[in-house]
Structure 1
Amino acid sequence: MRSDKAKTGPERAPHRSLLKASGYTDWEISRPWVGVVNPYNAIIPGHVHLNRITEGVKAAVYAFGGFPLEFPVIGVCDGIAMNHEGMKFSLPSRELIMDSIEIMVRAHALDALVLVTNCDKIIPGMAMAAFSLNIPTVMISGGPMLAGVSGGKDVDLSNIFEAVGKRVAGLMTDDELRAIEDTTCPTCGSCAGMFTANTMNCMIEALGLALPGNGTIPAVYSARDRLAKEAGRHIMMLVEKDIRPKDIVTAKSFANAVAVDMALGGSTNTALHLPALAHAAGIPLSLDQFEEASRKTPHICSMSPGGNHHIQDLFAAGGVQAVMARLLEGGLIDGTPLTVTGRTVEENLRGVRVFDDNVIRPLENPYHAQGGLAILKGNLAPEGSVVKQSAVDPSMLKHSGPARVFDSEEAASEAILARKINDGDVVVIRYEGPKGGPGMREMLGPTSSLAGMGMDKTVALITDGRFSGASRGASIGHVSPEAAAGGNIALVQEGDTIEIDIPSRSLHLAVPDEELEKRRAAWKPAESVTDSLFLERYRSVVTSGSRGAVFGK
């Protein structure tokens, strides 16, 4: 065992003595050391209950012969960090989480890991650590929030953000806004739509790093506590058989996850996080592979924000495993990869069925013939950009309009809320990429304000930043190269015509090449001033969004 380096032999008597100071016995210390990473904090609603999940994991690890050693990591609530400086720190926290787990594991010679997780950057940060360390690992999420009910309709976080736009447009009163504010988020858990957190928890299940049910069992259901205990039991099986993340997750596993993503209509942030996970695993995964999967995988689940169903509905219909069963039957995923159950994908799916054909439609009757995401390229995004095409109104799949250019999210939000954006405009928010922000902020505020004002069917938004999984409309993000790196998005001027053609996968700035060269010769990057040494360090090493915004060497 790796832990023998810290516990075995007379020369490790000081080490054992320190462990005994924590109340541990010789027979406990002799067991496999299983790190249980608990990102509980009192801020994130998706994490406030993780002590409960962690205790279930630890109890099972202990019962099956392991020595559970709990330690924490940080986490950012993207919703609370949204629309202000806080969002600059969200994506950078992903690498910090990965690094902090590596430090704890390597410093203390742990044998295995159970990664308790739930919200946006915590999930990929933990998964990246699993690949980097490559010791037996199981991931277990805290589960999704239940949808709220307002005015007799199911609601979630996207509804309250859009309600702000309605209030500004005079379509909602203060009392109506307060009513939805008080009912939108009724329980703990990751926000109830197919936003980034829930999408990524589904992706971890599809990759095989988590047990069936990980992505969809609601946080408040007893089945979630039982799953936590199963995670503790399964990690001891993986330790006994020495099955590691890189034994489980292969290029075929990533292809499976991308196909599931397309079928679910998941968050655009998967095009950022799955390549980052693949990078940590040493497996190539490009935006072109997302595009290839989108072309051949139908969109069979209409989930909020683009549709009316919530994660609890997907759970009741059979969950991620039922989606995978449909895809396997259609030859759209591979059944051979191993999973943390110790069985293959195909073995896990035996006997799995769909309980609601409206929530998980048959392949021959999809919500859309193509997958949820589309990768657009053109002179405005030579390396690619990402749009959730399943959440775009059909009238906006093709759009041409004048650019309204802003060098920060704040400037764009101010113009939107001041009603200075007109029908037909293309709002361009730049210098918000990984380096430019720094931190590649999400733009849920601007997109939700436009939707709340009823302008999501008339106005497009393009950014080198990114979007929340709760965003909908013609919102095109991850434009690469970003403005701070000299991408053509930096050369757009007010009033330039921008042509969007999602079916043709095109994002084009209708400006002659000669004119763009003149502008480039005169271009000077906008200054992005921050007093954070952490963000400046991040800016110095982070790569393009098209590469997953991972760190360069």
Structure 2
Amino acid sequence: MSSTLRSANWFGKKGKDGFIYRAWMKNQGIPSHEFKGKPVIGICNTWSELTPCNAHFRELAESIKHGIYEAGGFPVEFPVMSLGETLMKPTAMLYRNLVSMDVEESIRANPLDAVVLLCGCDKTTPALVMGACSVNIPTIVVSGGPMLTGKYKGQNIGTSDLWRFDNANRSGEMSDEEFEFAEGCMARSKGHCAVMGTASSMACMIESLGLSLPGNAAIPAADSRRKVLAHMSGQRIVAMVNEQLTPSQILNKQAFENAIITNAAIGGSTNFVIHLMAIAGRVGVPLNMDDFDRLSANIPLIANLQPSGKHFMEDLFYAGGLPAVLKELDVFLHKDVITVNGKTMQQNYTDAICYNSDVISTVAAPFNPQSGVVVLKGNLCPDGAVLKPSAATPALLQHSGKAVVFENIEDYKARIDIEDLEVDETSILVLKNVGPKGYPGMPEVGNMGLPKKLLDKGITDMVRISDGRMSGTGFGTVVLHVSPEAAVGSVFALVQSGDIIHLDVHARTLQLQVSDEELQRRKLMWQSPVQMAARGYVQLYQQHVQQAHLGADLDFLQGSSGSEVSRDSH
């Protein structure tokens, strides 16, 4: 078997090269027999104390190692840049593509026969998958799992409640002392957000793509069964080497369509769109924005989870996990696609049982008929924009109003709470220059907090439009990912306060009601607000990042890698 292993190009060599490769590894106390024909399994670990969601990954890595050893493999753990959503500035999204490059090059440059991706916090999951599938060696994903449900004054809370608490604090309904007390109540265990935010949406995306073992998405981080799944994933990756089961055999168009259908049914994050598009771009699967609307159109929301519902990821696990959701979606899914355990998608959920119909409803009697991600088109967003109807106010899904324009996030912060801001509840808040190039990095600021004077009147939602993103834990009637973004001189760049904008979610349209002649006049006066970075990765990013409707990947990273390259010619 050693002659078929990629790692044999290092550890199987004779002479001085083989001597060097083995001898320097042996300084870690590794015996000679570990280098004799065993598959070398990399554990790509995004552990970091600056990424609180992933801070327990050292424990999970040990469980993975136990499984690899048990199955006859040789585990080697290696780090890559870790993205902490809560701490990184200007935004973790700026560095998603950089991490994907880190992962790809770390795999290519080292003697690895397969890789286990250990990820959790929002951007670590798509980044690691983008990098690994660009190399195309056997790959399995182990998610970190959601934290336990928060508890505050007898109520269940999660990250989505942050937005409610903030509004209540700003309006004076919640004191500063209560606000600070809630901090210690929300994140009370290891793991990522307890709601169906982006991190949990990414874990569900991975499982519905077939890149993880069944049940991976919902097991809480603090539950011992998360370690058991990590152990079993370590076992399974060794078998995948023997079978040469690679991402290119799993990630076909049908797998991507299954993921889109699943995301609709669980009320997943709008960030799902941009990350799935980026992964599809890496493996050369033709996917476009219209696919998300088309495939979501007839899928009801059957997972009653925040922010679109009331329950939490912990509840989803107790109710049967994602396999129970997939079983309910059986009529919609491509059942025969292969997954990392060698079984079909349908085989993985055949024996699943729903234990709580209030958490996982049926397709026939769904929790909410509104689901998925709606793709809007119009002169304001010719390449598309997205909106999550299950998290929106139904009365605002068809709405016309005057634009209140903020040219950038600093302008928004400076003016949103001033008393003389010309705004009422019928207005539409517009935030420009927070897209991929303009910010740069496309931050999660699209669900703008409402003006204080409207909060004081009891207003809880307004139509909001931006070329940025919002947290998957957020909610409201929020139009996101406007493409092309303002920073490239699109129509969105030309919107002025007082312009009438018409949103019609049912018709899938977003229109700026300004004449072509007036827009042309404004275009002649427009000047780019983009400040190019002077050096380094950020400059590279601004020069090569694609627009949101293409996944905001770097243009030179697109396309299937073809044959795997070892780069061991020295």
Please indicate the TM-score interval, normalised by the length of the shorter structure.
Answer: over 0.9
**Deviation sequence 1:6-40 (CA, Å, 0-9, x none):** 11232322222222223222211221111001111
**Deviation sequence 1:306-336 (CA, Å, 0-9, x none):** 21111011111111111110111xx211110
One-letter identity of the residue aligned with 1:547: L
Map residues 121-270 of structure 1 onto 2, 5 A cutoff. Answer: 121-270=123-272
Tell me the SS of whatever aligns to 2:350: coil
How far off its partner does 1:79 sit? 2.5
In the other structure, the counterpart of 1:49 is 56
In the other structure, the counterpart of 1:27 is 33
**Is the CA contact (8 Å cut-off) linking 2:133 and 2:247 kept in structure 1?**
yes
**Is the CA contact (8 Å cut-off) linking 1:37 and 1:70 kept in structure 2?**
yes
**Is the CA contact (8 Å cut-off) linking 1:157 and 1:184 kept in structure 2?**
yes
**Is the CA contact (8 Å cut-off) linking 2:150 and 2:157 kept in structure 1?**
yes
- Correspondence 1:406 to 2:403: no
- Correspondence 1:100 to 2:102: yes
In the other structure, the counterpart of 2:567 is none
**Is the CA contact (8 Å cut-off) linking 1:444 and 1:471 kept in structure 2?**
no
How far off its partner does 1:534 sit? 2.3
Q: 1:457 to 1:506 in 2, by over 3 A?
A: farther
- Correspondence 1:282 to 2:284: yes
Tell me the SS of whatever aligns to 1:157: coil
**Deviation sequence 1:110-159 (CA, Å, 0-9, x none):** 10000111011100011112211111111001100112111222111221
**Is the CA contact (8 Å cut-off) linking 2:446 and 2:466 kept in structure 1?**
no
One-letter identity of the residue aligned with 2:21: H
In the other structure, the counterpart of 2:372 is 372
How far off its partner does 1:93 sit? 1.8
How far off its partner does 1:165 sit? 2.2
How far off its partner does 1:340 sit? 1.0
- Correspondence 1:479 to 2:475: no
- 58, 70, 74: which one pairs with 2:77? 70
**Is the CA contact (8 Å cut-off) linking 2:446 and 2:480 kept in structure 1?**
no
Unaligned runs of 5+ in 1: none
Q: 1:41 to 1:309 in 2, by over 3 A?
A: same
> Within 2, Cα distance between the matches of 1:312 and 1:134?
33
Tell me the SS of whatever aligns to 1:70: strand
**Deviation sequence 1:22-79 (CA, Å, 0-9, x none):** 3222211221111001111112221111111111001111121111010111222222
> Within 2, Cα distance between the matches of 1:377 and 1:444?
18
How far off its partner does 1:357 sit? 1.5
- 529, 542, 546: which one pairs with 1:539? 542
> Within 2, Cα distance between the matches of 1:13 and 1:533?
37
- 444, 461, 465: which one pairs with 1:462? 465
How far off its partner does 1:455 sit? 6.8
**Is the CA contact (8 Å cut-off) linking 2:447 and 2:464 kept in structure 1?**
no
**Deviation sequence 1:355-380 (CA, Å, 0-9, x none):** 11121111111133242211111110
One-letter identity of the residue aligned with 1:382: P
Q: 1:535 to 1:448 in 2, by over 3 A?
A: farther
> Within 2, Cα distance between the matches of 1:520 and 1:28?
65
- Answer with 203-212 or 306-315: which moved more: 306-315
In the other structure, the counterpart of 2:358 is 358
One-letter identity of the residue aligned with 2:10: A
Tell me the SS of whatever aligns to 2:230: helix
One-letter identity of the residue aligned with 2:499: D
Q: 1:455 to 1:67 in 2, by over 3 A?
A: farther
- Name the count of aligned residue pairs: 546
Tell me the SS of whatever aligns to 2:102: helix
Q: 1:285 to 1:105 in 2, by over 3 A?
A: same
One-letter identity of the residue aligned with 2:13: G
How far off its partner does 1:445 sit? 6.8
Q: 1:398 to 1:103 in 2, by over 3 A?
A: same
How far off its partner does 1:514 sit? 1.4
Q: 1:108 to 1:58 in 2, by over 3 A?
A: same
**Deviation sequence 1:74-100 (CA, Å, 0-9, x none):** 22222234xxxx133x11321111111
Q: 1:151 to 1:417 in 2, by over 3 A?
A: farther
One-letter identity of the residue aligned with 2:79: P
**Is the CA contact (8 Å cut-off) linking 1:456 and 1:474 kept in structure 2?**
no
Q: 1:170 to 1:370 in 2, by over 3 A?
A: closer
**Is the CA contact (8 Å cut-off) linking 1:164 and 1:452 kept in structure 2?**
no
- Correspondence 1:504 to 2:511: no
> Within 2, Cα distance between the matches of 1:453 and 1:39?
43
**Deviation sequence 1:278-303 (CA, Å, 0-9, x none):** 11111011110000012121111132
- Correspondence 1:488 to 2:491: yes
One-letter identity of the residue aligned with 1:340: V
- Correspondence 1:14 to 2:20: yes
**Is the CA contact (8 Å cut-off) linking 2:64 and 2:234 kept in structure 1?**
yes
> Within 1, Cα distance between the matches of 2:456 and 2:142?
38
**Is the CA contact (8 Å cut-off) linking 1:162 and 1:449 kept in structure 2?**
no
Q: 1:293 to 1:445 in 2, by over 3 A?
A: closer
In the other structure, the counterpart of 1:522 is 525
In the other structure, the counterpart of 1:381 is 381
> Within 1, Cα distance between the matches of 2:448 and 2:148?
25
How far off its partner does 1:452 sit? 7.2
Identity %: 36
In the other structure, the counterpart of 1:38 is 45
> Within 2, Cα distance between the matches of 1:498 and 1:537?
35
- Answer with 350-359 or 450-459: which moved more: 450-459
> Within 1, Cα distance between the matches of 2:456 and 2:381?
28
Unaligned runs of 5+ in 2: 557-570
**Is the CA contact (8 Å cut-off) linking 1:447 and 1:461 kept in structure 2?**
no
**Is the CA contact (8 Å cut-off) linking 2:117 and 2:141 kept in structure 1?**
yes
Tell me the SS of whatever aligns to 1:537: helix
In the other structure, the counterpart of 1:4 is 8
**Deviation sequence 1:172-227 (CA, Å, 0-9, x none):** 11122122122111111011111001100111001010011111000000110100
**Is the CA contact (8 Å cut-off) linking 2:532 and 2:539 kept in structure 1?**
no
- Answer with 487-496 or 359-368: which moved more: 359-368
How far off its partner does 1:396 sit? 1.3
